[in-house]
Structure 1
Amino acid sequence: MSVGSGPMRATLGYLREISTALNDEGTYHQMENAIPYSDLNALLTTSRNHHTE
C-alpha cells in the first residue's frame, strides 16, 4: 500500500497549525499530544525489524 506524500503533507499542515498558534497566541498547546521519544524509538525499531525479517 502506498500513501504517497500524504503523511508528509499532513505533518507540514500540523506544523503550520503549531506555527500559527505560536505566532498568533504565543502558545504551543497543539504539541501536547506529541509522541514521546521513547515511543518513537520503539516504533522505529519495530518498523525496521519487520523489514529485515
Structure 2
Amino acid sequence: MQAERQLSAAALADPTAYRTRLANQRQITDASFEGLQGLPDSAPADIVAH
C-alpha cells in the first residue's frame, strides 16, 4: 500500500510518467487485499465490527 501511495503522489506531479506503474501497483495492492479478506478470523471481532 505504501508503494501505491508513493506512486499516486508521483503521478500527480507527472501523470504520463507514472500512469502505467501506478496501474500495475494498484493491481498488486488489490490482489493482496483480496488475499487478506480470505483469511478466517484475521482480525479481532472489535476491529471487524467497525
TM-score of the aligned structures, taking structure 2 as reference length: 0.42
TM-score of the aligned structures, taking structure 1 as reference length: 0.40
